[in-house]
Structure 1
Amino acid sequence: MFKKIILLLVIVAIATTSCHEDFLETKPTDAISSGDALASAENMALILNGLHRLLYAQPQTMLSGGDSYRSGNHYWVPLGDNLAGGIIHSARANNLGWQDDAQWISHNQETSRTTKQLWYQRYHIIASANAIINKAAEGTIPEDAKFKEIIGQAYSYRAYAYLSLVQHYAKGYLIGNPESDPGVPLLFASEAPFTSAPRSTVKEIYDQCMSDIDAAISYFDGATPRPTGNAFDKSQLNIDVAYGLKARIALNMGEWRTAADAAVMARQNYPIMDKDDYYSGFNTTLLPEVIWGSNVITTETTYFRSYFYLMSNTFNGSQVRNNPKIMDKRLYAQIPDTDYRKGLFLKDAPNSNTSASNGEGGWDNNTNPLYTTEEEFDAEIDRLASVYGWTSSHNTHPYMHVKMRNKAPGTTDPDDIILMRSSEMYLIEAEAEAMLGNIEAAQNALKPLGEERDSAYDVTMYDTKEKLMEHIKFQRALELWGEGFLYTDKIRWDEGIDHAADGGSGASAGLYQSGFQQDKPSVNDEWIFKIPQEEIDANPNLGPGDQN
């Protein structure tokens, strides 16, 4: 099922970097050999640039199993919050399958775009990383500092892709039996026909992730450092990214000491953002906290396939205009008034949408006592549009967010995708220390982040493991809202979805359907993605009995 992977990525890299024009001059674009692509460190850098772009590019049609309805991590990053109910749809909308995923009628279908495209995109990353790793093993290219950097990135990419696959297509490490639960197939080939092994166990896949990321860290030690100062630089993986991935891997394995230590290493050079940066829209990798992110180039016209089309209430698309994304009301109620993150969720925004799923849209259905006349109601709608830059066609809704805002609000311009921040690393360290019973160490990990965000923050209130874990869950839900972590968090914590509990989230049962309530992952295999039926049919090492 994996065809022309290296060829495709080299073509992408050449188009992106406008380097090595001699390839285009001397060979047709369908005849670039893997030997050329792997002939030198300089050429391998083109493969890496292709991988950077593959993370977010719109033309996923180049990939086996791909089509134009997904643009890589534009879709996969926010999916974690969409699927787990963290971001809430306020109305029905044109959605590219986005609401199908929220309704739990996509990831559990073996023929859906979601199951197919995540699978094939991640395996393309693996196969391309294999090409570099396997070439390095031959020993024909001197391992100078530049080549070490390239090998480190390849191992990091492979660990990243396997972690993504095992977290979606297998049972959670901490809620199942990782020694025997089926994981995903291991693929080490770098040439067609890319035949994989049968499904390895969950533990074997996590062990491979850890082995790869340790190899990456070893290669990065003594490698050329990542440049700084340009948004594109953060697209490159470096030793800090590798430590961050190691922290994620270990956290989800319950290897608490390893997770805490790796998180500390990852965040060293990335200071916590202040309020001005936090309020700037989360639209650039140049923010000081960003350890890793995709710098989305302006020629990559993702438009209505972009992260900001799916997430940002300022993007000019019908899915946004008709369907402002809102925060869970129960989470909002927990945010202290002294915490400036609260200001990015507009509790009292008028409900201007007469098609809102709660049936309270428009002045005639207004229930907010702040607006005593229709003039006041309309004036606030106009004021919010002037402050945040959306158009007169955009609807507003109580609890709508303004955390993710495109740089040019009211347009369809592309923006960067943030993949890893230092705040996540503080929270990983805190959770790991709490799980180890190290109360003071967990408090110390939380303190810098909490005190920056909340002027009245007092970490000493959380003086037991149980209190700490409840607070860490709150902090992750708030700090990382919309950044895609809730799905894997719920699996790790073995928590279900219940939009009706405790006064309700604000989601509509009629809109959310099966996604309105789901039992916890340890007793509910609906959390596990189906393997694409195309892969079951084509892979000689998989059969009907391997389907989740």
Structure 2
Amino acid sequence: MLNKFKFITLILLLVSVNSCQDEYLERTPTDAISAADALASVENMQLVLNGVHRGLYSQSQTIFPGGNTARANNHYWKPLGDNLAGYLIHSANANNLSWRSAMQWNEHTIQTSLTSELLWYHRYNIILHANLLINGIADSGFTETAALNEILGQAYTYRAYAYLSLVQHYGRGYLIGNPSTDPGVPLLFSSESPFTSEPRSTVQVIYDQIGSDLDDAIAAFENGSGRTGSGAAAKSQLNINVAHGLKARWALSKGDWSTAATSAVAARDGFPLMDETDWLSGLNTNTLSEVIWGSHVIEAETTFFRSYFYLASNTFNGSQIRNNPKIADRRLVDAIPATDYRGKAFLPDAPNSNTSAANGEGGWANNTNPLYTTEEEFDDAIAAIKAEYGLVSGHNTHPYMHFKLKNANPGTIDPDDVIYMRTSEMHLIEAEARAMLNDITGAQDALRPLGEERDSAYDVTIFNTQQSLMDHIKFQRRLELWGEGFGYTDKIRWDEGIDHAADGGSGASEVLYQGAYQVDRPSINDDWIFKIPQAEINANPNLSSGDQN
């Protein structure tokens, strides 16, 4: 049946997919391609892929028609996972781009919010363009070549990536529900009007489709040409490592521990762990050795005050950060061993310079840190932090503020890369999977390289039971991947709620966090599931109000 995907959802792609009047996907620079020519050659198919690559980080209306300037796609979706999970903690009241509203759980729980609508819109745009390539290659009659297989592998990987994102946000978690009956999202296989889709499929059906797409992607990549180019731009291209990495995430989220472990090993092949210098450099470039996949944000497509670093990095020169420095959970930071260099990325003793801080302790008059006995010492400490990290005069400081994510040019609004997949994550996936298989030695072996690189006194052998290993793996994920957006899906997989008050408190303000200060675990609280956009329900004849989460 015709799926209209009206409004800011898929129907808007009718303009770019089926019209020869306008450019197709690549709008900046002018190497655009019309829909009529999109499948005419391998070179043109690559242009389609290049458009999808840029669509990952562009403002949502720039590459894919429609959307809204208030979201720059993965610049927003990536840190959103830690914003929702209470990992990326706000220290003051600032709501640029609805970032505070999202933190307070007043975005994804509302079916008319931009967050609910645009995440759906963006992921289905990716699926539609993946379908265009997959279907077009199947019907093209082109001779199979390595270059064609490389494009096909990327298309299948993109479709799997988008469906995994959709089902993990708009469906109940696989491990905490009944996937064979829980509603997932609609499947879409068409690549041209009338965009026939299915009704809402079960979580299991969507997971099966993801698995099939990833297997097809890996098979295509095995006969592909490999990534082209070099440097940061090359890692914008998906490759066989990315497909294995997504398969590891997919398998972990469904409890297929053996597949998760073996896929994680395959994903990290050829991408060695970063050393201390690189880890502390700010995670702002794809050129870091362990980056498997990331968006290389070109200057012509910079999103300025819509970027990941605007929302999450304390060195960005934007009001969201200057007025509201982001802090880490003090329970996590206080648990970092002194021998672990990752602790250097967090400043528990930073003075609270913000007189509008949510905890009411901003400014010298409210100082509670005994390190600062005079106002001069207090002000000197603020000045030293600003000088070391390149902050401008308007930047506030706050206890437990982080400098894990840092602009390459601090104190500016210059664009930086957005990293999606790292080797460290793959070590942690393998470790968790082997721990869940009760393979104690295997889990320790997976953790050892990561732990010994980060902590000069690391001894994995002290974690010698399944429970102690899992507790340690959770700690390592929260520390190593902090700020990179994994908190939301981790908490769903582990069936953990949010409690900023427990164990001495996280440092978050209950007045600021409101209903998100304490949230029941996902298995008993359906608010973890994103609302389907009301515009989609209104327009899609295969959905009704009864399909709303």
Normalising by structure 1, report the TM-score: 0.96
Matched with 1:264 is 265
| CA–CA distance in structure 2, aligned partners of residues 94 and 509 of structure 1 | 16
* 1:484 maps to 2:485: yes
Are 1:226 and 1:236, in contact at CA under 8 Å, matched by a contact in 2?
A: yes
The Cα offsets for residues 132-168 of structure 1, whole Å up to 9 and x where unpaired, read as 1011222511110000000000000000000000000
C-alpha contact (below 8 Å) 1:4/1:192 kept by paired residues: no
2:450 is matched with 449
Give the drift of 1:447: 0.1
1:286 Cα deviation (Å)?
Answer: 0.6
The size of the alignment, in residue pairs, is 537
1:269-300: CA deviations, max 9, x gaps?
10000000001111001100100000001011
Q: Which residue of 2 aligns with 1:43?
A: 44
Aligned 1:529-540 pairs, distance under 5 A: 529-540=530-541
2:136 corresponds to: 135
Q: Aligned partners of 1:3 and 1:332: how far apart in 2? A: 46
Q: 1:277 to 1:12 in 2, by over 3 A?
A: farther
Task: Provide Cα deviations, 1:478-498, integer angstroms capped at 9, x if missing partner.
Answer: 000000001000000000001
RMSD of aligned residue pairs (Cα, Å): 1.4
**Selected match of 2:11 from 3, 6, 12:** 3
How many angstroms apart in 2 are the aligned matches of 1:450 and 1:8? 48
After superposition, residues 332-347 of structure 1 pair within 5 angstroms as 332-347=333-348
Aligned pairs for 1:149-548 within 5 A:
149-227=150-228, 229-548=230-549
Q: Deviations over 1:14-45 (max 9, x none)?
A: 4446547xx6xxxxxxxx33x31011111000
Residue type at the aligned position of 1:136: I
Q: Is the 8 A contact 2:238 2:293 kept in 1?
A: yes
2:230 counterpart SS class: coil
Deviation of 1:462 after TM superposition, in Å, equals: 0.5
CA distance in 2, matches of 1:507, 1:60: 34
Write the distance in 1 (CA, Å) between the matches of 2:194 and 2:116. Answer: 22
Q: 1:512 to 1:236 in 2, by over 3 A?
A: same
SS state of the match for residue 197, structure 1? strand
CA-CA distance at 1:194 after TM superposition: 1.8
**C-alpha distance in 2, partners of 1:441/1:326?**
34
1:285–1:456 distance in 2 versus 1, CA, 3 Å? same
Over residues 176-205 of structure 1, what are the superposed CA-to-partner deviations in whole Å (9 max), with x where a residue is unaligned? 000000000000010123232101000110
- Given that 1:267 and 1:422 are in contact with CA atoms closer than 8 Å, whether structure 2 keeps it comes out as yes
Q: Secondary structure at the match of 1:152?
A: helix
Q: Say whether the 8 Å CA contact 2:60–2:73 is kept in structure 1.
A: no
Q: How many Å separate the matches in 2 of 1:530 and 1:62?
A: 25
Contact 1:90–1:324 (Cα < 8 Å) also in 2: yes
Question: Distance between the aligned counterparts of 1:87 and 1:453, measured in 2?
Answer: 21
Counterpart CA distance in 2 for 1:146 and 1:64 is: 28
In structure 2, runs of 5+ residues without a counterpart are: none
**Deviation at 1:128?**
0.4
Structure 1 unaligned segments of length 5 or more: list them.
24-31
> Would you say the 8 A contact 1:13–1:47 is kept in 2?
yes
CA distance in 2, matches of 1:344, 1:357: 22
Residue 227 (structure 1) shift: 3.0
Asked whether the equivalents of residues 27 and 63 of structure 2 are also in contact (C-alpha less than 8 Å), the reply is no
Are the aligned partners of 1:352 and 1:362 in contact in 2 as well (CA < 8 Å)?
yes
Are 1:235 and 1:292, in contact at CA under 8 Å, matched by a contact in 2?
yes
The equivalences for 1:85-164 within 5 A come to: 85-164=86-165
How far did 1:6 drift?
Answer: 7.7
TM-score, structure 2 normalization: 0.96
Q: Comparing 193-202 with 59-68, which one deviates more in the overlay?
A: 59-68
Deviations 1:394-448 (A, max 9, x none): 0000000001111111111111100000000000000000000100000000000
